[in-house]
Structures are given as C-alpha cells and as structure tokens.
Structure 1
C-alpha cells in the first residue's frame, strides 16, 4: 500500500506554495536559510517582536533587510491564517527540514502532526502551570513544546513570557531543528529577552548519550513534564539501506551490485559501536539491535521528577512486542498513573501505511514512597479533520492484567465488557505449553519467497514440489486460488468456489533446492496459516491442513505438534484457530502479521483428547476437508456453513462462553457477508452472525430461537453463511486495508 499524503500537508499547501515563491523556488543550503528567515519574519508578524532585535540576539545574518523579509513573509502569514492550524503549529511544520525516505529510515523520525501535538499537550497540561519546567529531548521543529505552551498558557502573554524564559527546554541533534522550534515558539510572544533566556538552556547533540550535567543545568530537581515523539527506528545498517543512502535506486530482494565494501564496513562499525554504547547506557534495551524509542522512553523517566508527567508518541510495539517486556514492566512499576491511547494512521497523520498503529502515552511518575498504583486507562482514539476523538475505553487493573498476560502485553480491548470477555477466555484457556495437553508446537517457514526465488520453476517438473502461497489458503480450505498468468503484482489468480478447491500453483521447487533443515517437512501432513492479516479484515486468521507433497512459502508458516503428530490434532487445532472466539482474541493483540509470539499468546481451550467435544471437532473438520473437493453446489456450501457453525459453537463452549458473549465477539467482524442478500428492511446481510448464534443457542440450550429464524429466512432468500466476500462479489480481489480478502 502506498503511503498517504498527510492531512497536515494538504492544509498547509497554500502556505508552502507562498513560501516557495518567497524564496524563489531554489534548492540548497542558501535557499533553506532564506526559508528559515522568511518564517522568522512570519513569526515576528504573529508574535509582534522586533525582527532586527531577534536576528541580533541569535546571530542571524539576514539574507535581506528585516523590512524585505517581513514583506516576503506577508503572503505566507496570510495563507497560514486561512488554514485550520494554529499559526505557531503551522510555522513549526513549515520550518522542518525535509525528510527524504532514507533520512527517515536512518533517523526513525516521523514529524508530529498538529492534531497529535495538540492531543499530547492536552494529556500533559492539566498538572502544569506557567511556572513548570518542561523538556522535549527529541524536539525536532518544536511542535510539541509549542502545543504544550498553548495548552498551559493560552493567550496570556505575561504567563507565556515567564514560561518560555524559565521553563521550556529542548534538545535535538539538528541545529536547524532547534532554530525551527525557536521561531515557532517566538510567534507566541514579543519578548526577545525571554526567547534569548530560553534558547540559552537548549542542547544541540545526542540526548541519549548526553552528560547528566546537561539536564541538571536545565532543571536541577528534574522536569515537571517530559514530552516527546522519539525516533521509531532500530539502530542497524543493512546493505540495502547503505546503498539507498548512497543514492542507489533499488528495492528489497534485488541483487546487491556496486557496494563499496570498505565504506560499508566502516559505517557498519560506527553503528555497532553506537549500539554498544546505548545498550550499556540503557539496560532495558535488551540484546540485539536497539530500538531508539525504548532508549528515549527510559530517558524520559530519568528526566522526569517524582509526580511529574511523561507524555509521548510511541509505536504500538510497546504494548505488544516480546522485546519491549522489560520496558512495560518498568513503566508499570515506575508510574502511579498510566494512560495509553491506541491510534492508527487512517486519519493520515504520517506518510506511512494507514494501518500502522501507535500510542499516545501519558504517565505520572511515582514517588520513592510507596504510593497507590492506579488501574491502567486504555483508550482508543481516531483522527478527525482537526483533532482526535475517543471511540472506546477500558480500565484494566494491573494485577488482573498480570494474571492473564504475564508479559504485561496489553490487549486492545475497547470497553469494560471486552476486557471482561478477554479475561474470561484467558482464564478458561490453557497455555500452548501446558503439560499433558500436547499443544507444544514446532513452527517452520519452509521456503523464503525472496531468498529462494532464483530456484523457483514456472512449470511442473518431475520431482518438483508445488509451492503454496498465502492467497491459496483460507479457513479450512487449501487450494482456494489458482494461478492463471503473469508474475508479481501483475499476476492473475482465479478464486475457486466453495467445494472446488484444487492446487494450481504459480511456482514449483525441487526438494534439493529447499533449505536443508526444512526438506523433511514436505513429507508430512501439517497445518499452515496465513501470516499476513489485520484486525479489520473479514477474518484475521486463516488455517488449513497442508498435505504431504507440497511446500509452503514464508507467508504460510506451518505447524507440527511433536508430542502428538496425529491428523486429529492438526484438525482440532485448525478448528480452534478458525473459530470466531480464537480470532477475536487474536485481533486484540494483532497488527498486520501473525507472528509466533502473538499467536502463542492466545490461550487454547481445555479439550481432553478423545472427549466428546474433541471428537465433534475432528469429525466436522474431516468432513469439511472432503466437501471442499466435492464440487461447488449450493448443498455443499450450506453443509460446510453448518459444520463451521457447529465448530464455532463447540469452541465457544470450550472457552466457557455463552450466547451474550458470542454476540459481543461477532460485533468485531462487521464486514462479513458482503455480497449476500439482506433481510427485508435491513442494509446488509448478517447470515454468518445469525448462523453462528443459532448454533451457539442450540449448543448451550439457551432457548433463544430468534437467530435460527433469521438464519432460515436469509437462506430462503438465497444468502449463504461463511462465504468470503470476494466469492460473493464475483471473484474480485477486494483490498481490506492493504491485506487479502478472506472469510
């Protein structure tokens, strides 16, 4: 999926055009200097300070006279005033240094959208006054400090001058960024002396490795608030990234040509040395390639005083990744109050995938004395054209979280009811490693679609094995799409109707060309699942049995259970994994990939092998496998839907769920049944939901008949449950937030 243009850039396009005209459209350092000077003049227009005095105070050698700069700035200021963005925040955005793709990759910098800056300031401001001391240790162009100034001081010029003069501190690697931060804040005051006193405290350098004396000089007793949007990248250097930074146009997977090995080795050594210094300074980074945002989060706590506030934008990995467990533990132990807002990029905050999730974190640092740790506040927020709005919230007790998630990873529940349901399933379930249940898995990515690509064959050859790709696997169905023609993005695939699955691959590979460690797996029946998924897809997990004699690409990891390699166990696991209850749990922890850590964090239901529920799941799953090759008839489709409903009901009961619980579960799958006929007077079909709830009502003996009546009425009209939308809509490729359609 291509990266969207940020909304902020759309709003500021007229101001950007006016600024480009003012500097003559030229490129290079001289042009950027003039750009900053024009923006400083615009700041003077808004703030009311004397531009000549400002230049003298900060040693700016004017490219033009102050009068000329003020005249050039007039149309820029006018365009800013017509935008929906406060002038001080707009100036910060316009004064940023341009970040090209590799600059962003190297630094991990994502400029903060004005809506996020305002929201983070709102989270930090309630405990602050104009006498407080605050810092952004990765300030960039200062939009967070500017938003915080507006939140704390409002339009009071006297308070603003005192706040700037005594309390606002910043640090950044870039002198140009600090200059941008200065001009942004300057637009809020006419007091050049206050600006000069503020700028004298600022630090230009690497905050992560700065001497503690730097911070002590700014705030001897610590800061009342630390605000930031730290870099989101790991400290690493690959050959691909090195070539990109050298100007080479290339994509991942392309062969390496023209690499200056000596220069690459020298730069790699620099990166390794820097990593070692960070790991020594911030032990919670763990091992391997350090995540910069984790180091900065550690620094934020270090700079914050007791009862102070930390407010930051952090990648979503903080609440779910295996590598951030130590930092989660530290945050929960060191914070008296924790508020976490989950936000995605659909509102186009950043020029990255709209599915990308991140957090607005607000923490109150605990004191040395034992103080009561409040429950965690978990919010869901989404962007509007000019702000953010809350769409869900839950309160999670810390002990309760530790009981169901020992690694303290937070499930993305949107309400108290969802948290209760999550806890209920977690408490009823068992770990995959629970002794005596036989679920300890052995995962494998059998063939890497990039590394082994040169060994692929485009036609069947004696002894070669068909290669299974992600689009060929759906819930309980193996061989759901067949290759027709073309390769890569231009490849044409045919979707096979329910009941007519067959194996029609794009590629084959000889066993001798497979990685040696995985060659033997092709001789076994095993279960495979698609690892590309999403919380908003029709279904997030799709698993099917993979027969012997086929090999899976890396987007279809496979599982064997060494303690019990029987076909029955594989069938039962597939039944559980494809159920709505398991899928609902996975959606609480999922991003865009089903990695092993996340998958195994979802508990399995307690099922005794050879017990009646086990036998029912085996029988239903076996029949589903047979039916999917029996022919595409309506009878086949309806029977497969009936079997899947029975499986969903059986798994729900095994998790201890009732009819009300399953109603809540199914609310999380709103795009099912596209293309199916709706009941009279209703906008969309709910045949799958109604069929599942009818099966649960029957299985639990609830006595409710409403769902059965709805399902029967829908079937009479021609609707069919459990049909992927792409089949119902004519076999089209339906893009769901960039992922495959599934059902």
Structure 2
C-alpha cells in the first residue's frame, strides 16, 4: 500500500534523526516537517520535472505552494533528507497523481506516536478532525457539479457565462470539486482545458493538498506563471483575514496544527472579487479547544484524566517537566479564544455565530458573501444547518434572503463518507429561481444524478406548521412522511401548548461542579444518575458496579447491562456532596422527575428513552422535567415512550442532543382527547386513566397511589397497550400504526 510505504520512509527518517522520543512535541514537529517535505518533493516532480530536490522545493515556494520555513528546514537537514528521499526520484513516472491523492487521504488518518524508545503510526483522527480533512468521493462531487452546471440553468433567473465565470472552492482539499468542475466545463460547455483551468480558485489549510489540487488541474496543459498560481490558490484558513505579519513562521504554525492562529488567515486574498460559483464540502467541525484532544495528539497521559480539575493540576505540573508541550498548549488554546472573539465581534460573520461555532455554518455564510448576486452556491453540509434549533436564525436568513432553493438530505448508512454511519448531511443549492420555492428531497442514501431524485415543494406555511417555534426543516426518512407529518401537526396541539407549566432542566455538570463530585460514596454524598443508566420505564438499565476499576473512568467508558435491581450507590460511578446538590436543585421542588437520555440519534432503535425517578442528581447526559400534577407526569411519560411519539420525534432530531427546544415543538394530542372514555380490554375509562395505570405498573419502585389490581403482570403487553392508546389519540390510522411499529 502506497500510504504505508510513504509513512515507513518518514518513520525511518525520524529514527535516523535520533530525537528525544520522550519529547513528543519535538518528535511530532519533525515528523510533520518530513512528511510535508517528502510529499512536496514528490509533488514538485510532477510540476517541475528533472530538478533536484532543493530546486523543486524552491520552485514550490516561488509559486506560493509551500511556505519558505519548510525550505529552511530542508537546508538544515539536507543530507539526511536527500538520502531518505532518493528512492522517490522517479515517483512521478511510476504513479499517477490520482494514486498519490488517494494515498495522501489514507495518510491523514494515521498519526505518529512515540512510545518507549521508538516511534510508530496508529489510526488517530484528532488532528484530522481539527482540520475537517475528510475528502469528498469523486462520484459525489461529480453529481453536485453536474447539477450545478447543467440542471440549475433551467430554473435559474439569470444565466451564468461559464466562459468567464470565476469558480472557487474555499476548502478545496485535494481538489475533487475543482477537477469535476473543469471536466464539466470542457464536456458540457465546450470550454478548452486551459480556459477551464484558468477559471478555478482554491483555498486549503494544507500545503500538500493545495499542491495536489494544482497538479490535478494543470495536468496535460501548460502550467501558468507564478503570479497566476499564487493569485488563484492559497494555503491558509479562509475564515480568517490575512495578518501580513512579517515575523510569522507559517510552516511552524502548520506543523503544530495551529490553523486557527491569527497569522494563518487568507480571507483577504479571496474577498477581493466576486465568484459566479462557490462550491465544495467545507469542514463540519466544532471550533472549540478541547484539552483532552490536544494532549492525545502528543501521547500524554493527561488525555486519560476524566475530571477537569485533575487535568488542570496535571497540566500545571508540565510547566516545568515539559515546557515545550506546556507552551504549545497555551498557544493552541489562545488561538481558539482569539478566533472566537474575532468571529463574534468583527462583523464578517453576522448570521452563523449562534451557539457553539461550527465550521460548516461559517463557511456557508462566507460562501454566500463572496458569491455574486446572480451566482450559484453549492455546498455539502451537516443536516443540522437546516434542522437544528441553534441554527434557526441562520436557516431563516438562508431561506428568506439568500435564495436557498434546493436541499437534498442524506444519511450516511451506506458509508458515502468514511465517517460515522449515523451521520446526516445535505447538499444545499443557493441561486435565484424563476419561482421563489424551496424543493426538498428526504431520505437519500446513495449517490446519483440529483435531477432524478424525487423532491417535494415546501411552502412557508408547511415549514411553520411543522416547526412553529423555529421554522426549520424536518428531518424525514422519506418524502412520503411529509404528508403524514403535516396531517399530524394540523390535527394535534404541541407539547408547549398542552403542558405549559413543565419545568425543564439539566443539572449536574462534571466540569462546572467538579469540586463537589467524588468517585467514592460517603455519608455526605448521594449518587448521580447518568444517561446510559436510563431505560424505558427504568433507571436500572445499566450499571458501573461490574465495570473494572481501571476502565470505569476512561473517556467514553461503557457501563454493563444490569441483571438485577441495584442500590443506586453501587450502580453509579459519581457521587455529589449533599449540600452542593441542595444548592444546585433549589428551584426543583417536586418529589419526582421525568428523565430521559440527552444523547441519542434518529438512527437508534429508540430515540426517546425515558423514565420517572424520585428527584435526584443527574449528569449533563440526562434531561429532566417536573410538573406539579402527577397525572400529567405519568401521561407525559406514556407519550414520550410510545412508538408514535418516537416516530415523529425522528423528524425533529438533527444531531444527537434531545433538548427542551425539540420537546416543546413536538406535536401531542390535546389533553381533552385523553379525557375521552373508551371501552379498552373490557374496562370503560378515560384514555388518560388507561395510559397512566399502565405507566404506574411499569414503575414498581414508586407508589403513585393508583389502583393496579386489574392489570395483568405482562410488561411487554402493557407497553403495547400504551403504544396503541397514544397512537389512536394522535389520530393515526391502523395501517399507519402498523407501518410505524414495523419501522422499529
């Protein structure tokens, strides 16, 4: 495998340098320098054949495709590097640039780690995640490009002169979209290869990726002059203005992964013109500093410390023992703080900064700001930009002011991208339509010709009906679900309207309350419930009592399924000081709380997993609500755990957090419908009473003072009864109910 061959050469070169393996900063920096120089020397042989390594690298610097700091490093280590790289002198004759592009993508998932007296590579994604370097499959980029250049023309108000169009990918990676654009301009628009190549612009934080992009675009045609290349292709962060600092060591910033440094920006270089097409697949990452991820890159045991106060002590201790790592930690952390302040206050991003900063939101706003008013923006984005409550302001700006015209929703169940199969993404097209409508296609799983995908037209009224609070798009599994959902919303109320007095919360936080949380129980503490302990109608679903002590507190530690009912003190792994808990919960005065798992997914077997507990501490992985009327609380639990509610909920859930904002918009039957008396299994009573008696039976550890004597002790049947009672109250037909049950 080519990637392994290249990594072996890099590793052998590092070993010959006899670096102090215990100094992981020195090892990682040198590895990054050698990696970039090896790949740059290979890339240079495609662009500038028959040159010596030093001449090739100098040419790349001259063309703006490599920072001069890499050339300085080469000169300091030229003898070793020339010897190590010699076997690759005829690489460009043996392998195509497409082979190298594929190998480089594979290399991005491997990071060097030092252990004992040696270095080695293992699969790690912390650095890759920070840069969002997950490249687009060729078949998907071609599909998006063909739709942009061929299909949109039929419904776009203004026609684009492709012969003279400026086309940019502001996060181009190895150039997949730009290559597809070049092919389409040649095959569909009749433009020559040279003319098509000269219309393209690209930006990326990775110098190697930019080099590969340029090679792929200009293969088989004359490479333009240095000025053209340096004006069209830029290494740096497109979200950040250029600093123009003469003292900035950009090579050092790159090898340290500091792509959010104020000195690493190139925004000014692309803001000086408008583009007729902005296209690409920007990173989907959260812009936040996470100390555990940072230290994991450097094989530091600090990454394994789960509690923040413990990490803080350990971090302080390396100030003297590992000063370089400590210094880099401070710089890396400051970069994120400075970028956040810039994004929130500089006025460039005014719509995409709600909640936690995300690269896909910022890149969307950037793309729309650099696109001409008659142009087209085509982006692959996380579905959350269209469906998550935190993005409601951004989405409504996109829809009402920025010509959002088409959205194709996908789930990753068939691994279109080599990431989590539960991930959901969309392809969004922005352009001025002849008719001001929004066409949406739901539930796609495979790549194809987008014009052949079935879509539905969503009106302003439809959107407001389904999501009255946020006016976002639903996340549906198919287009057919839309008519069902519209009827359910039209014929029912919402949770906020029917249960306005509910008090929501998420109370104990491992970081915020670290000083009051302990691993071992005592007379002055009480146990803390975690989300993974909650099952439907039980808080005893799983336990940490049977987890080995050395694994119990690891990052993403797994609990074991409970086989018996346990005392919470042994079941839980965290305990909080009673006096601290009283202060935290002082505004929650009801004896019982309805709790559910905050972390979930619409692709899970069940999305809502809830129970009722005596009011107790619960971690941030648990959402809760309280209400004064116990009948309301029991009814809500029956609704929450029903298949009908779960089925509808999937359309609301864009990410993995099942929050209050989602719950309050959920359609639920009007309370008065639950007061209807029916004969159910030989007993005449209100639907409300039929439901809450069964719910109370399923919670045997709590006495709600309800007569349960006539119920058969069959939990599975009681749950089926609740499912049917709730569905019928929603107005769901028998055929629809059968289809809903079959979907679980």
TM over 0.5: yes
Corresponding residue for residue 325 of structure 1: 392
Aligned to 2:669: 605
Match of 1:162 among 186, 190, 195: 195
- 1:174, distance to aligned residue in structure 2 (A): 4.3
Mapping of residues 306-317 of structure 1, within 5 Å: 306-317=373-384
Distance 1:616 1:473 in 2: 26
Q: What per-residue deviation string (whole Å, max 9, x for no partner) do you get for residues 652-679 of structure 1? A: 233222123323423431xxxxxxxxxx
Deviations, residues 130-176 of structure 1 (Å, cap 9, x unaligned) = 654310112233222123323443599972221002x1111234444
Structure 2 counterpart of 1:15: 2
Distance 1:277 1:448 in 2: 28
Structure 2: 5+ residue stretches without partners: 14-30, 50-54, 66-70, 75-80, 112-123, 154-159, 243-266, 320-325, 678-684, 702-709
Within a 5 Å distance, the mapping from 1:97-496 to structure 2 comes to 101-126=125-150, 127=153, 129=162, 132-154=165-187, 159-165=192-198, 167-187=199-219, 189-193=220-224, 197=228, 200-210=231-241, 214-215=269-270, 222-240=274-292, 243=295, 248-249=300-301, 250-251=303-304, 252-253=306-307, 255=310, 256=312, 257-259=314-316, 268=333, 270-279=335-344, 280-287=347-354, 289-333=356-400, 334-335=402-403, 337-344=405-412, 347=415, 349-350=417-418, 352-361=419-428, 363-366=429-432, 371-382=434-445, 394-399=455-460, 400-406=462-468, 407-434=470-497, 437-448=498-509, 465-481=526-542, 484-486=545-547, 487=549, 488=552, 489=557, 492-495=560-563
**SS at 1:231 equivalent:** coil
- Counterpart CA distance in 2 for 1:392 and 1:638 is 49
CA deviation after TM superposition for structure 1 residue 573, in Å: 0.4
SS of 1:305's equivalent in the other structure is strand
Match status 1:506 vs 2:558: no
Kept in 1: contact 2:496–2:665 (CA 8 A): no
User: CA distance change for structure 1 residues 98 and 478 in 2, over 3 Å: closer, same or farther?
Assistant: closer
Over aligned residue pairs, what C-alpha RMSD do you find? 4.4
Check whether the contact 2:409–2:443 (CA below 8 A) recurs between aligned residues.
yes
Residue 38 of structure 1 corresponds to which residue in structure 2? 42
Question: Residues 67 and 506 (structure 1 numbering): CA distance in 2 closer, same or farther, change over 3 Å?
Answer: closer
Structure 2: how far apart are the matches of 1:636 and 1:472?
Answer: 27
Contact kept, 8 Å, 2:371 with 2:377, in 1: the verdict is: yes
State the SS of the aligned residue for 1:495: coil
Q: How many residue pairs are counted as aligned between the two chains?
A: 619
- Could you say what secondary structure the match of 1:339 adopts? strand
Partners of 2:450 and 2:307 lie apart in 1 by 40
Match of 1:620 among 678, 686, 691: 691
The Cα of 1:276 is off from its aligned counterpart by 3.2
Q: 1:95: how far off?
A: 9.0
Measured at CA, do residues 463 and 87 of structure 1 come closer, stay the same or move farther in structure 2, by a change above 3 Å? Answer: closer
3-state SS of paired residue (1:514): helix
The residue number in structure 1 matching 2:733 is 658
Shift of 1:269: 5.1
Question: What's 1:678 paired with?
Answer: none
**Contact preservation (8 Å) 1:319, 1:410:** yes
Change (3 A) 1:522 1:148: same
The answer to whether the Cα contact below 8 Å between 1:446 and 1:518 also exists between their aligned partners in 2 is yes
CA distance in 1, matches of 2:209, 2:562: 52
> For residues 346-366 of structure 1, what are the alpha-carbon distances to aligned partners after superposition, in whole Å with 9 as ceiling and x for unaligned?
51724x4332322222x1322
Matching residue of 2:682: none
Shift of 1:197: 4.1
Query: How far apart are the structure 1 equivalents of 2:648 and 2:577?
Result: 38
Q: Where do residues 607-686 of structure 1 align in structure 2 (5 Å cutoff)?
A: 607-608=671-672, 611-612=675-676, 615-626=686-697, 629=700, 639-669=714-744
Deviations 1:162-191 (A, max 9, x none): 1002x111123444432221122233x232
Does the 8 Å CA contact 1:337/1:364 hold for their aligned counterparts? yes
Q: 2:559 & 2:269 partners in 1: Cα distance?
A: 57
C-alpha deviations, 1:36-91, integer Å up to 9, x for none? 3324546799xxxxx999969949999989998663334433xx8xxxxx669647
SS in 1 for 2:688: helix
1:453-483 Cα offsets, whole Å, 9 max, x none, are 7866788766754543334432234434566
Please give the alpha-carbon distance, in whole angstroms, between the structure 2 residues aligned to 1:458 and 1:88: 50
Give the aligned partner of residue 577 of structure 1.
Answer: 640
The answer (yes or no) to whether the contact 1:375–1:398 under 8 Å persists in 2 is: yes
2-structure distance, mates of 1:426, 1:506: 41
3-state SS of 1:163 partner: helix
Q: Contact 1:313 / 1:359 at 8 angstroms: preserved in 2?
A: yes
SS in structure 1 of the partner of residue 585 of structure 2:
helix
Matched position secondary structure for 2:38: helix
**CA 1:414–1:619: 2 relative to 1, 3 Å:** closer
Partner of 2:651: 588
How many angstroms apart in 2 are the aligned matches of 1:580 and 1:169? 50
Deviates more, 1:462-471 or 1:335-344: 462-471
Secondary structure in structure 2 of the residue aligned to 1:529: strand
SS in 1 for 2:612: strand
Distance in 2 between the 1:517 and 1:267 partners? 33
SS at match of 1:552: coil
State the Cα distance separating 1:609 from its structure 2 match. 8.5
What is the rounded CA distance, in whole Å, between the counterparts of 2:525 and 2:476 in structure 1?
46
> Are 1:502 and 1:629, in contact at CA under 8 Å, matched by a contact in 2?
no
Structure 1 CA distance for aligned equivalents of residues 588 and 382 of structure 2: 36
Q: TM-score, normalised on structure 1? A: 0.71
CA distance in 2, matches of 1:643, 1:344: 35
